[in-house]
C-alpha cells in the first residue's frame, strides 16, 4: 500500500545489486524462463521476471545478508528452502517462489516479527511507507498467536540526539540493513549489532547516542531501514510525502541527484536518487538534510533599495528595483565610461542563469567585465588542464574510480568537502586500491576504518611544485616513464625538455627534502607506487590551486599523468574535485573576462563574430577586468558599479580590508542573493534570489555532468535569477526573450560546440550527460582524451619551483592554511541557517601541541591570529593532525574573519588567491579583534535598519 499519488518513485528495489558478468545463465522461475548475468541472485532474477519475492533484510543497494528468512524459495531437485537473496541463479534451475509450504513459512516468520513490534501502524510516521507493513500484507498475515506478555523490546527509549532523524529501537527488526549501509555505502562503520540472540540490538559507536558516535549523518541507514526505526524528523512532523521532483543538490561539485519529496509546496524530505549517475543513491548530511535554509525566515523576498549604505533598506516593487538599477548603471557609465561597471556570476546559480548574466554584461553593459567565484578557487584548473590537454575540465567520470589501482590525493579533503565521492573512494580502497595523500594535514582519509594510506606526504604549505618535481624526478630517472604512451600521444620535443629539466639533481627527493619537509624515501616510494601500481588516478582540490603557483602545480600533475600514461581510459586521469555545485558550469558558460562559453577567447574573431551575429550586437574584443582588478580599479576611482549574483565577496575573497575598501568606494553595488549577506552591507540595491528548489535549470558537476535542476516550489520572490537578469538587460536597452530556461540551453547548444547535443529533452531522457556532447558523442563523454588529446599532442610544460613571497619570519613564524568541514559549506550562508550548526557553530584554529605549548595555549583558549594583512581571534583546538609550524582553520562563519588574515598574493596565471599560505603569529588573548568589533557593529546596524524598513 502507498499513499504517494503523483510521485515518480525510484526504480523498483530488486533486492540484491546488479551483476555485470559477461556470461549469462538461464533458468525458470514460477514457470517463466529468465536469463541473467552469472552471479545474479534468485531474488533479483525473479524480480527481473516480474516476480517480487517477499524480503526484509535485502535491498539492492547492499550485498545480501540472508538473515530474515522471508525470501525462501523451493528449487526442484533440492532439499530445503534456501533464501533467494543469497542463492545465485544457475543454468537449468527450476525455482518456485509461491507454494503453500513457502506461504506458511513466511507467515510464521512475519508472525514472530510482528509479535515484538508495536501495533501502532495507523499512527506511525511510516504508515504507508513501511516495508514491514507491506510484507505483512504480502504474506497474508491475519493473526498473531503470541501475546505481548513475554519478553519484548517495546519499551525501549528513542534516541533523538541527531537533529535530523530519530532512532526508535522498539520498532527495530534487527535486519542489519542500517549497519551494512553504514559500512558498504558510506564507509563510516559507525553502527554495529551488539550482543546475540534476543538481546541483539543496533548500537551507534560504543552504545552511544547517534550524535556522540562516529556517525556523519549521511542518512544511508535511514534510507535503508525498512521500518520506522530510523526516520527523518521532518516526516514524523509533517507526514509522508505526496509527490516528488527529481533535481540536483545545490551544495558541492559532486552533483548528487535527489528526489525532493513534498506535501503541496512544503518539502518534507530530500531522498538521494538511486539512478543518479554521480551518487547512485547516496548522499551526505548537507544535501540530504540541510535544505531548511531554503525557507529560512531570514530569506529576503522583496527587492530593496537605499541611496547610501548607512540608510535603511526600503522595499520596492520589481519594476522600481530594476528601473533604478538600470538608471544607476547608465548614470555611472555616462560619468565614468563604458568600462566602469561589471558583474560577478555565481557558481551557485544554474548554467542558464550564468549564461544570461555574462550575455547581459557583454551585450548590454558593452564590456567584458565579467568574472566568477571560480577565480578564487579553480581558475588554475581551467588554465592548466586546457594548456596541457586542450580542455578546461577533469578527465574522468566518478565511476572511473572503481578501476583505479592507486589514488594520488593532493590538496583535497574528500571526506569533508566531497563526501559522497569520498565514500566511493573508500569503497575502492577497501577493495584493495592503494592510496597516497599529499597534504600538510593528516586528513581523515589517511587513516579511516579499513583504509590506510600507503604514503602520507605532509609537505610544508606552498611547496607543491617542489614536491611534484621530486615525484617526476623519480619517474624520469628510474626508468618509470611510459615511453610508448608519450611517443604516441605527446609532443616529444617538449617531453624531452621536461625530462631533462626534472632529471636535474636539484629536483631529487633528497635535494628537495629541506624544501618540502618530507623524507626522500617516502617521496621515492610514493612516486614508484603511482608509476607502477596499475591505473593511477590523481584527485586534487583547492590545496593545489589556491597558491601563487596554482597553475604550475596543475601543469605539474598533468606532466606526471602523461609521463606515466595515466590518461585516456578508466581508472586514471587528472581529476579536480570542484568546490561549488556549478563551478564547472559557471566556467563553461563564459564567466571569465577573456572567454565566451566553451572557453573561446574574446579576441578571436571567429567566435566573436558568431556571438555578434546571434546576439545582434557588436562585442568588445578586449578582455575585461578580473575580480581583483575590479577591486583595484574601484579604489582608483574608475570602476564604480558592480552587480554581484550569488556570491559573498566580502566574506569569501582574500584580504577583507582591501575588499571592503573597494566595495565602499563604489557608487552602486547590486546584490542578488537569498539572504542579506556580508556583501549586502555595502550594497545599494538588493534583488532577492530563488533557491534551487524554486527554479528550472542545469548544474554541471566536477565530472562535466550536466544535470537538471527542477522547480519543486514557486519562487518565494516571484522570479528566478534568469528572469531578473533578462528584465534588467531590457531596461538597459538590450532585450532578451526567453520563456523558459530550456530556450537558454538551446542557445547555449547553438553557440557552444561542446554543448551542441545538449537539450532539456535529452536530459529528461538520459537523466544527465557529460560534455562534450556532440554529434560524434550524442550521449556525452564520460572519459576524455581516449586515443589522443583534445588539443592534439599532450603538452609537457616546465614547472620551475618558485617559493611564494609569503615567508615566515620572526614576526609571523607560523603558516596558516585553510579548508572546509563536512557540516558547513563555504561561507556558510546556507548551512549556518540549518541544524548543521550542532556540529560546527564556530571556526576553530587547529594548532600542533608543540606550537601551543610554546605559546602557553590550552585547549579551547581564545587566541589572536595575526598576519601582515590583519588580525582576528578564535578558539584553539590542539591537534596532532597539524605539523609543527602550521595552523589551520575553516572560513564558514563570517565573524571569525579568516579572510581578514589572508593576503592578496595570487596565482601568477589566473590571480587565484593564495588562501593556503599565510604567515601568521598566534598568541593568547581575552578579547575579540578590532575588526571583529567593527564587524559586529556593522551587522547590528544592518539588521536593525532592515527590520525597521519592514
Footprint on this chain of ligand SF4 (rule: CB under 6 A) = 172-178, 181-182, 186, 188, 190-191, 202, 215-221, 224-227, 229-230, 249, 251-252, 254-256, 279, 283-284, 286-287, 418-420
Could you give the CA distance from residue 263 to residue 126 in angstroms, rounded to a whole number?
Answer: 15
The smaller minimum CB distance to ligand FES, of residues 58 and 724, is found at 58
The smaller minimum CB distance to ligand SF4, of residues 116 and 806, is found at 116
With CB under 5 to 8 Å by kind, the binding choice for 191 among ligand FES, ligand SF4, none is: ligand SF4
With CB under 5 to 8 Å by kind, the binding choice for 693 among ligand FES, ligand SF4, none is: none
With CB under 5 to 8 Å by kind, the binding choice for 437 among ligand SF4, ligand FES, none is: none
CB of 144 to ligand FES, least distance (A): 20
CB of 186 to ligand SF4, least distance (A): 4
The smaller minimum CB distance to ligand SF4, of residues 68 and 797, is found at 68
Could you give the CA distance from residue 785 to residue 791 in angstroms, rounded to a whole number?
Answer: 9
The smaller minimum CB distance to ligand FES, of residues 223 and 400, is found at 223
How many other CB atoms are found less than 10 A from the CB of residue 484? 9
With CB under 5 to 8 Å by kind, the binding choice for 58 among ligand FES, ligand SF4, none is: ligand FES
How many other CB atoms are found less than 10 A from the CB of residue 708? 21
CB of 829 to ligand SF4, least distance (A): 14
With CB under 5 to 8 Å by kind, the binding choice for 178 among ligand SF4, ligand FES, none is: ligand SF4
CB of 16 to ligand FES, least distance (A): 9
CB of 825 to ligand SF4, least distance (A): 7
Could you give the CA distance from residue 879 to residue 440 in angstroms, rounded to a whole number?
Answer: 13
CB of 82 to ligand FES, least distance (A): 9
The smaller minimum CB distance to ligand FES, of residues 42 and 309, is found at 42
Cβ within 8 Å of residue 254, ≥6 positions away? 278, 279, 398, 418, 419, 420, 421, 701, 702
With CB under 5 to 8 Å by kind, the binding choice for 71 among ligand SF4, ligand FES, none is: ligand FES
CB of 97 to ligand FES, least distance (A): 12
What are the start-end ranges of the E strands in 440-587?
447-448, 451-452, 455-457, 536-540, 573-576
Output Rg (C-alpha) for the chain, integer angstroms.
29
The smaller minimum CB distance to ligand FES, of residues 224 and 562, is found at 224
The smaller minimum CB distance to ligand SF4, of residues 447 and 609, is found at 447
Beta strands 165-167; 230-232: pairing state: antiparallel
Contact in structure between 477 and 503 (CB atoms under 8 Å): yes
The smaller minimum CB distance to ligand FES, of residues 135 and 356, is found at 135
CB of 126 to ligand FES, least distance (A): 19
The smaller minimum CB distance to ligand FES, of residues 69 and 243, is found at 69
Contact in structure between 392 and 522 (CB atoms under 8 Å): no
Q: CA–CA distance from 381 to each of 357, 395, 574, 914 (Å)?
A: 23, 11, 10, 14
Q: If DSSP codes are grouped into helix, strand and coil, which group holds residue 345?
A: strand
How many other CB atoms are found less than 10 A from the CB of residue 793? 18
Exposed, middle or buried: residue 4 (CB in 10 Å: 0-12, 13-18, 19+)? middle
Q: Which parts of this chain interact with ligand FES (CB under 6 A)?
A: 55-58, 66-71, 83, 85
CB of 747 to ligand FES, least distance (A): 51
The smaller minimum CB distance to ligand SF4, of residues 220 and 572, is found at 220
The smaller minimum CB distance to ligand FES, of residues 85 and 583, is found at 85
How many other CB atoms are found less than 10 A from the CB of residue 215? 22
CB of 519 to ligand SF4, least distance (A): 34
Could you give the CA distance from residue 14 to residue 205 in angstroms, rounded to a whole number?
Answer: 30
CB of 261 to ligand SF4, least distance (A): 15
Report how far apart the first and last C-alpha atoms of the chain are (Å, whole number). 48
With CB under 5 to 8 Å by kind, the binding choice for 555 among ligand SF4, ligand FES, none is: none
CB of 548 to ligand SF4, least distance (A): 29
Q: DSSP secondary structure string, 169-235?
A: GGG-----HHHHIIIIII----EEEESSGGG-EEEETTTB-TTTSS-----HHHHH-SSSSEEEHHH
CB of 108 to ligand FES, least distance (A): 14
CB of 14 to ligand FES, least distance (A): 12
The smaller minimum CB distance to ligand SF4, of residues 182 and 322, is found at 182
Which residues does residue 688 pair with via DSSP β-bridges, in sequence order? 673
The smaller minimum CB distance to ligand FES, of residues 86 and 584, is found at 86
With CB under 5 to 8 Å by kind, the binding choice for 946 among ligand SF4, ligand FES, none is: none
Contact in structure between 552 and 912 (CB atoms under 8 Å): no
Q: What share of the chain is helix, strand, coil (3-state, %, to 5)?
A: 35, 20, 45
With CB under 5 to 8 Å by kind, the binding choice for 69 among ligand FES, ligand SF4, none is: ligand FES
What are the start-end ranges of the E strands in 569-640?
573-576, 595-596, 600-601
The smaller minimum CB distance to ligand SF4, of residues 219 and 565, is found at 219
CB of 444 to ligand SF4, least distance (A): 13
With CB under 5 to 8 Å by kind, the binding choice for 386 among ligand FES, ligand SF4, none is: none
The smaller minimum CB distance to ligand SF4, of residues 694 and 914, is found at 694
Which helix (H) or strand (E) covers residue 890, if one does? strand 886-890
Angle of CA points 93, 99, 104, to nearest 5°? 130
With CB under 5 to 8 Å by kind, the binding choice for 181 among ligand FES, ligand SF4, none is: ligand SF4
C-alpha cell at 437: 595523500
CB of 71 to ligand FES, least distance (A): 3
Contact in structure between 555 and 799 (CB atoms under 8 Å): yes
CB of 582 to ligand FES, least distance (A): 40
How many other CB atoms are found less than 10 A from the CB of residue 458? 19
Contact in structure between 546 and 912 (CB atoms under 8 Å): yes
With CB under 5 to 8 Å by kind, the binding choice for 70 among ligand FES, ligand SF4, none is: ligand FES
Contact in structure between 60 and 18 (CB atoms under 8 Å): yes
The smaller minimum CB distance to ligand FES, of residues 174 and 827, is found at 174
C-alpha cell at 520: 626522500
Contact in structure between 700 and 588 (CB atoms under 8 Å): yes
Beta strands 697-700; 685-688: pairing state: unpaired
How many other CB atoms are found less than 10 A from the CB of residue 128? 15
Could you give the CA distance from residue 308 to residue 327 in angstroms, rounded to a whole number?
Answer: 16
C-alpha cell at 312: 535603511
With CB under 5 to 8 Å by kind, the binding choice for 544 among ligand SF4, ligand FES, none is: none
With CB under 5 to 8 Å by kind, the binding choice for 256 among ligand SF4, ligand FES, none is: ligand SF4
Q: Select the residue whose beta carbon is closest to ligand SF4 and give its number.
A: 287
With CB under 5 to 8 Å by kind, the binding choice for 85 among ligand SF4, ligand FES, none is: ligand FES
Could you give the CA distance from residue 552 to residue 567 in angstroms, rounded to a whole number?
Answer: 19
Whose cell is 590542539? That residue is: 878
The smaller minimum CB distance to ligand SF4, of residues 455 and 825, is found at 825
With CB under 5 to 8 Å by kind, the binding choice for 68 among ligand SF4, ligand FES, none is: ligand FES
With CB under 5 to 8 Å by kind, the binding choice for 182 among ligand SF4, ligand FES, none is: ligand SF4
Amino acid at each position: 500500500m502507498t499513499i504517494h499519488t503523483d510521485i515518480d518513485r525510484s526504480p523498483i528495489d530488486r533486492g540484491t545489486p546488479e551483476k555485470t558478468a559477461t556470461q549469462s545463465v538461464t533458468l525458470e522461475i514460477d514457470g517463466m524462463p529468465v536469463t541473467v548475468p552469472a552471479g545474479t541472485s534468485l531474488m533479483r532474477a525473479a524480480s527481473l521476471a516480474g516476480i517480487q519475492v517477499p524480503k526484509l533484510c535485502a535491498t539492492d543497494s547492499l550485498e545480501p545478508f540472508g538473515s530474515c528468512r522471508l525470501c525462501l524459495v523451493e528449487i526442484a531437485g533440492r532439499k530445503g528452502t534456501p533464501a533467494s537473496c543469497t542463492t545465485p541463479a544457475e543454468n537449468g534451475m527450476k525455482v518456485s517462489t509461491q507454494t503453500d509450504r513457502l506461504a506458511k513459512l513466511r507467515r510464521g516468520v512475519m508472525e514472530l516479527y510482528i509479535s515484538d513490534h508495536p501495533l501502532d501502524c495507523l499512527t506511525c510516521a511510516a504508515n504507508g511507507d513501511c516495508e514491514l507493513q507491506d510484507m505483512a500484507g504480502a504474506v497474508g498475515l491475519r493473526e498473531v498467536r503470541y501475546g505481548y506478555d513475554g519478553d519484548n523490546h517495546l519499551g525501549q527509549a528513542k534516541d533523538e540526539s541527531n537533529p535530523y532523524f530519530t532512532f526508535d529501537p522498539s520498532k527495530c527488526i534487527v535486519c542489519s540493513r542500517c549497519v551494512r549501509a553504514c559500512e558498504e555505502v558510506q564507509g563510516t562503520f559507525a553502527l554495529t549489532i551488539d550482543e546475540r540472540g534476543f538481546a541483539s540490538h543496533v548500537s551507534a559507536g560504543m552504545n552511544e547516542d547517534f550524535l556522540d558516535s562516529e556517525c556523519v549523518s549521511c542518512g544511508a541507514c535511514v534510507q535503508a531501514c525498512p521500518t520506522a526505526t530510523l526516520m527523518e524528523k521532518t516526516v514524523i512532523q509533517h507526514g509522508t510525502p505526496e509527490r516528488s521532483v527529481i533535481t540536483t543538490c545545490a551544495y558541492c561539485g559532486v552533483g548528487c541527484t535527489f528526489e525532493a519529496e513534498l506535501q503541496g509546496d512544503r518539502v518534507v524530505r530530500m531522498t538521494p536518487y538511486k539512478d543518479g549517475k554521480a551518487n547512485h543513491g547516496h548522499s551526505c548530511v548537507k544535501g540530504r538534510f540541510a535544505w531548511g535554509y531554503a525557507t529560512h525566515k531570514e530569506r529576503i523576498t522583496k527587492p530593496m533599495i537605499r541611496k547610501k549604505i548607512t540608510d535603511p533598506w526600503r522595499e520596492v516593487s520589481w519594476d522600481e528595483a530594476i528601473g533604478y538599477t538600470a538608471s544607476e548603471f547608465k548614470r555611472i557609465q555616462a560619468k565614468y565610461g563604458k568600462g566602469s561597471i561589471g558583474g560577478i556570476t555565481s557558481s551557485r546559480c544554474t548554467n542558464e542563469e550564468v549564461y544570461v548574466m555574462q550575455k547581459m554584461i557583454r551585450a548590454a553593459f558593452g564590456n567584458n567585465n565579467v568574472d566568477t567565484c571560480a577565480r578564487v578557487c579553480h581558475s588554475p584548473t581551467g588554465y592548466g588542464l586546457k594548456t596541457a590537454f586542450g580542455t578546461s575540465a577533469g578527465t574522468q567520470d566518478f565511476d572511473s574510480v572503481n578501476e583505479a589501482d592507486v589514488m594520488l590525493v593532493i590538496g583535497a579533503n574528500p571526506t569533508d568537502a566531497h563526501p559522497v565521492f569520498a565514500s566511493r573512494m573508500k569503497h575502492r580502497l577497501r577493495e584493495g586500491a592503494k592510496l597516497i595523500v599529499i597534504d600538510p594535514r593528516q586528513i581523515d582519509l589517511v587513516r579511516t576504518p579499513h583504509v590506510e594510506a600507503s604514503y602520507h606526504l605532509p609537505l610544508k604549505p606552498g611547496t607543491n611544485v617542489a614536491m611534484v618535481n621530486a615525484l617526476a624526478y623519480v619517474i624520469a630517472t628510474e626508468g618509470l616513464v611510459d615511453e610508448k604512451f608519450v611517443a604516441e600521444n605527446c609532443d616529444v620535443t617538449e617531453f624531452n625538455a621536461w625530462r631533462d629539466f626534472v632529471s636535474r639533481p636539484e629536483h631529487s627527493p633528497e635535494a628537495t627534502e629541506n624544501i618540502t619537509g618530507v623524507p626522500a624515501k617516502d617521496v621515492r616510494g610514493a612516486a614508484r607506487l603511482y608509476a607502477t601500481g596499475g591505473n593511477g588516478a590523481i584527485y586534487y582540490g583547492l590545496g593545489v590551486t589556491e597558491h601563487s603557483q596554482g597553475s604550475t602545480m596543475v601543469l605539474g600533475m598533468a606532466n606526471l599523468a602523461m609521463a606515466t600514461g595515466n590518461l585516456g581510459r578508466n581508472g586514471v586521469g587528472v581529476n579536480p574535485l570542484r568546490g561549488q555545485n556549478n563551478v564547472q558550469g559557471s566556467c563553461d558558460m563564459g564567466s571569465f573576462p577573456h572567454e565566451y562559453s566553451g572557453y573561446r577567447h574574446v579576441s578571436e574573431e571567429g567566435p566573436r563574430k558568431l556571438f555578434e551575429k546571434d546576439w545582434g550586437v557588436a562585442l568588445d574584443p578586449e578582455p575585461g577586468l578580473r575580480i581583483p582588478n575590479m577591486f583595484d580599479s574601484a579604489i582608483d576611482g574608475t570602476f564604480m558599479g558592480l552587480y554581484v549574483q550569488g556570491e559573498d565577496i566580502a566574506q569569501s575573497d582574500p584580504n577583507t580590508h582591501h575588499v571592503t575598501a573597494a566595495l565602499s568606494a563604489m557608487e552602486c553595488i547590486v546584490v542578488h542573493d537569498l539572504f542579506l549577506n556580508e556583501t549586502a552591507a555595502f550594497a545599494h540595491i538588493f534583488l532577492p534570489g530563488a533557491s534551487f528548489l524554486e527554479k528550472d535549470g542545469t548544474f554541471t558537476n566536477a565530472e562535466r555532468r550536466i544535470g537538471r535542476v527542477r522547480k519543486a516550489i514557486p519562487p518565494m520572490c516571484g522570479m528566478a535569477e534568469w528572469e531578473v537578469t533578462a528584465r534588467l538587460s531590457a531596461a538597459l536597452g538590450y532585450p532578451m526573450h526567453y520563456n523558459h530556461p530550456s530556450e537558454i540551453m538551446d542557445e547555449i547548444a547553438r553557440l557552444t560546440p561542446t554543448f551542441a547535443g545538449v537539450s532539456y529533452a535529452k536530459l529528461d531522457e538520459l537523466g544527465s550527460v557529460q560534455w562534450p556532447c556532440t554529434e560524434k558523442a550524442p550521449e556525452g563523454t564520460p572519459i576524455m582524451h581516449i586515443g589522443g588529446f583534445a588539443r592534439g599532442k599532450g603538452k609537457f610544460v616546465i614547472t620551475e619551483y618558485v617559493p611564494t613571497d609569503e615567508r615566515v619570519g620572526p614576526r609571523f613564524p607560523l603558516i596558516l592554511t585553510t579548508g572546509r568541514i563536512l557540516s558547513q559549506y563555504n561561507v556558510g550562508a546556507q548551512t549556518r541557517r540549518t541544524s548543521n550548526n550542532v556540529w560546527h557553530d564556530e571556526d576553530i584554529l587547529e594548532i600542533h601541541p608543540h606550537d601551543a605549548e610554546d605559546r602557553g595555549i590550552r585547549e579551547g583558549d581564545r587566541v589572536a591570529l595575526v598576519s601582515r594583512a590583519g588580525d582576528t581571534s578564535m578558539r584553539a583546538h590542539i591537534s596532532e593532525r597539524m605539523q609543527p609550524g602550521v595552523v589551520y582553520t575553516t572560513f564558514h562563519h563570517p565573524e571569525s574573519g579568516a579572510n581578514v588574515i589572508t593576503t592578496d598574493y595570487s596565482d601568477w596565471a589566473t590571480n587565484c588567491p593564495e588562501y593556503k599560505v599565510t604567515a601568521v603569529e598566534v598568541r593568547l588573548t581575552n578579547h575579540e579583534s578590532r575588526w571583529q568589533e567593527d564587524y559586529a557593529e556593522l551587522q547590528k546596524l544592518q539588521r536593525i535598519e532592515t527590520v525597521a524598513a519592514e
